[in-house]
Every structure is written in C-alpha cells, then in structure tokens.
C-alpha cells in the first residue's frame, strides 16, 4: 500500500521515506509471510513479520544487507579520513601518506570523541561500534582500501571514476543529516515551548486550587459559625450556644424522604432505629450514630464536602453503614436546615 501511494504520501523526491521503501526491497507475497500453526491440519495461520536492524547485522545470512552495512561503515571511515587529510580525489588521499600534524590532529579528535561517547547513556549507545576509533589515520585508510576492494567485487562501487559516486553519496548523506538535525532542533524548540507552557499552566492551576480550597474552608467556617451563633431580638451581640445533636427515628427520616430503605429491615420496624447526627470538632464533619432499640450499633463520620461533591456529580443516593440507603439532596437539605441555619 505504501509503494502504491508513495507519491501521494511523500511528493518530494528527497523525502527519507523513499529511501526507506527502497531499502525494504520487493513486496513479499502473502504466502511467504504466512506461518502455519503447530497443528498442520489446522486452517488457522498467522502472518510473521521479522524486523532486523539495518545497521547491526550478525552473521552472513543476508549478503545484500551485509554489503549495505559494509558500505555504510566504509562511508564513515572515509568521512573520518577526509576531515584531516584533504585531497582532490579519494584515490589520491588513500595513496598519499598523512603528515605528522594531520595524524596528531586526528588523534586529538578521536580522544574528544571517546570522551563524548563515555558520557552517552548506555541505552543510547550502539551494541557494537560501527567504526573502530582505535585505528590510526593510516590504519583507517588501509581499512578503506580493503573495504573498497570488497565492495568493488560486489558491484557496489566503481573504481573507474575514482569512487566519485561514493563521494557524492557521502555528500548527500551529510546534507540529509544536516536537514534531520535542523528538523530535530525545531521539534525540540517546540517541545520546550510546550513544556514551558504546561509548567506555567500547572503553576496557575495549583494556585487556583489553593485559592478554592481556602475559599471552601472559609465558607465552611462561616457556616459553622452561623449555626453556632443565635441572636435574640434587640441583642447586638450574638451568644454562642453549644450545638446539640439531632436525633431522628428511621421512620421519621423515611417520612421526610431522607431515608429510602434499610436492608433486612421492614418499614414497620423503622421506629426502632434511631439515627443521631452531631457536629464534630472538625468543621464540616458530622458524627452519625445508629441505635437499634436503644442499643448502639455503629458510628461513622460524614463529610459535608463529600455530600456536596456527590450532589455536583449527580449522585442521587448513597449508603450509610452499608445498609441504609439515603437520599443525598434531602440529607444536605436537612443538615443545612438544622446546623447551618439555611
């Protein structure tokens, strides 16, 4: 499918995808990809796609890939050599001897490369070095001559034109590499800008969260204070009165619609169950006690903010003590009326 539509996908001739598709070779047949399962009589099959690193080939199972790897290694050797020993042609460079100054400059560059590679994280290093940097400049030239002879036998290079086609390919690779670096640099700038914007938004939202939490605490304190302060007509100062607990039978809460039902208990038995709700020392937290025929059964703490959150999320009912089904909205109304004076 990619081969059929590659012109639409990558209209530019120098797009890297064309090189990738060329490296993949001919389109394999479906029969070559199908692998029969363990049972030969079974009609079930699976498609097997094997991936291989084009730059890290082990063994000589694929001569074509080996030739590409050899060509790649030779290109990198040539780049290392011509950086320090220029010449008109590759043949001239290989046949001439390097000066002591060129050899010394080359050794310094290899040392800097070794220091840089030592700082590279292990996960980013290649499993096997492509080029042996322990070789001298002359050693790499000898390695290039040996590789070129092998590549010439494989028909991958042409010594008749002094390997000018190979030099042109190297120039093209360098040009593409520069383009890739520029593209990666632009993408890195965009990622850094996005990261900065996200950090700024995170800081802003954290400040907003702190502000809203403080606002909610202030509101809860005001509600609690309002519920505790009672004023008589003509009094300028409110007198604080101790809040008493609120007691209801289950039957009374059922009449108000706050209590919907209690598991394993008939409606005519609701009069034997008493719920006692009292504010705790913490603002917005209520202690709820359940008694059956005067015998204390269980106590739990009810968070007023949790009730408001459930109301906001549209939760209509909730469980108390894992048995009593409560109407959330009517419970909030009851608490507001009895404790917050609303």
Name the nearest CA neighbour of 163 among 178, 147, 176: 147
SS3 at position 131: coil
What pLDDT, on the 0 to 100 scale, is given for residue 192? 93
Q: Are 318 and 332 in contact (CB under 8 A)?
A: no
Which pLDDT belongs to residue 280?
84
Q: Which of 87, 79, 89 is closest to 144 using CA atoms?
A: 79
Closest to 340 in 3D by CA, of 315, 300, 308: 308
* pLDDT value at residue 38: 44
List of E strands, the chain: 34-36, 45-47, 229-230, 239-240, 246-249, 259-262, 273-279, 285-292, 295-303, 317-320, 324-327
**What pLDDT, on a 0 to 100 scale, did the predictor assign at position 30?**
63
SS3 (DSSP) at 152: helix
Residue 54: what pLDDT? Answer: 56
Residue 229's φ and ψ, nearest 5 degrees, are: -95, 125
d(CA 27, CA 31): 12
Q: Any idea which residue has 């937290």 for tokens?
A: 285
Give the CA dihedral 179, 181, 187, 189, nearest 10 degrees: -120
Take residue 235 and report the two structure tokens written for it: 């009094």
Q: Which pLDDT score, from 0 to 100, does residue 14 have?
A: 66
pLDDT in tens, 55-113: 554 444 456 678 888 888 899 899 889 888 888 888 888 888 888 898 899 999 888 88
Q: How many CB atoms lie within 10 A of CB 315?
A: 13
Structure tokens at 277: 């709700």
Per-residue confidence (pLDDT) for residue 36, from 0 to 100: 46
Q: How many CA atoms lie within 13 A of 82 on its CB side?
A: 17
> What is the pLDDT tens value at each position of the chain, 342 positions in all?
777 777 777 777 667 777 777 777 667 666 666 654 444 455 556 666 666 655 554 444 456 678 888 888 899 899 889 888 888 888 888 888 888 898 899 999 888 888 888 887 776 665 455 566 778 888 888 899 999 988 888 888 888 888 888 888 888 888 888 888 888 888 999 999 999 999 999 999 998 888 888 887 777 777 666 655 444 444 544 444 455 788 889 999 999 999 999 988 888 888 889 999 988 888 788 899 998 888 888 888 888 888 988 988 888 999 988 888 999 999 988 888 888 765
Look at residue 87 in the predicted model and tell me its pLDDT. 86
Q: Report the b/e string of 157-178 with b at 16+ CB within 10 A.
A: beeeeebeebbeebeeeeeeee
d(CA 253, CA 233) in angstroms, rounded, equals: 32
């Amino acid at each position: 499918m990619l081969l059929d539509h590659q012109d639409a996908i990558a209209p530019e001739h120098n797009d890297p995808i064309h090189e990738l598709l060329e490296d993949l070779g001919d389109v394999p047949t479906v029969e070559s990809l199908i692998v029969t399962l363990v049972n030969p009589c079974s009609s079930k099959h699976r498609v097997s796609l094997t991936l291989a690193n084009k730059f890290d080939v082990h063994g000589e199972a694929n001569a074509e890939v080996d030739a590409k790897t050899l060509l790649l290694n030779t290109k990198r050797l040539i780049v290392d050599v011509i950086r320090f020993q220029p010449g008109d042609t590759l043949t001239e460079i290989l046949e001439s001897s390097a000066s002591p100054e060129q050899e010394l400059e080359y050794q310094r560059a290899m040392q800097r490369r070794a220091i840089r590679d030592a700082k590279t994280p292990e996960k980013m290093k290649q499993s096997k070095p492509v080029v042996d940097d322990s070789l001298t400049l002359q050693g790499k030239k000898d390695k290039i001559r040996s590789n070129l002879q092998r590549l010439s036998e494989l028909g991958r290079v042409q010594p008749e034109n002094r390997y000018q086609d190979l030099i042109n390919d190297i120039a093209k690779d360098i040009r593409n590499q520069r383009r890739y670096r520029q593209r990666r640099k632009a993408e890195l700038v965009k990622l850094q800008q996005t990261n900065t914007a996200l950090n700024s938004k995170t800081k802003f939202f954290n400040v907003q969260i702190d502000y809203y939490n403080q606002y909610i605490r202030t509101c809860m304190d005001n509600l609690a204070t309002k519920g505790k302060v009672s004023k008589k007509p003509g009094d300028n100062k409110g007198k604080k009165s101790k809040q008493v607990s609120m007691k209801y039978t289950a039957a009374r809460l059922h009449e108000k619609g706050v209590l919907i039902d209690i598991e394993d208990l008939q409606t005519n038995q609701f009069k034997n169950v008493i719920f006692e709700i009292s504010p705790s020392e913490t603002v917005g937290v209520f202690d709820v006690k359940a008694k059956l025929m005067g015998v204390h059964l269980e106590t739990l703490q009810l968070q007023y903010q949790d009730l408001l959150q459930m109301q906001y999320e549209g939760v209509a009912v909730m469980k108390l003590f894992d048995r009593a089904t409560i109407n959330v909205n009517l419970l909030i109304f009851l608490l507001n009326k009895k404790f917050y004076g609303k």
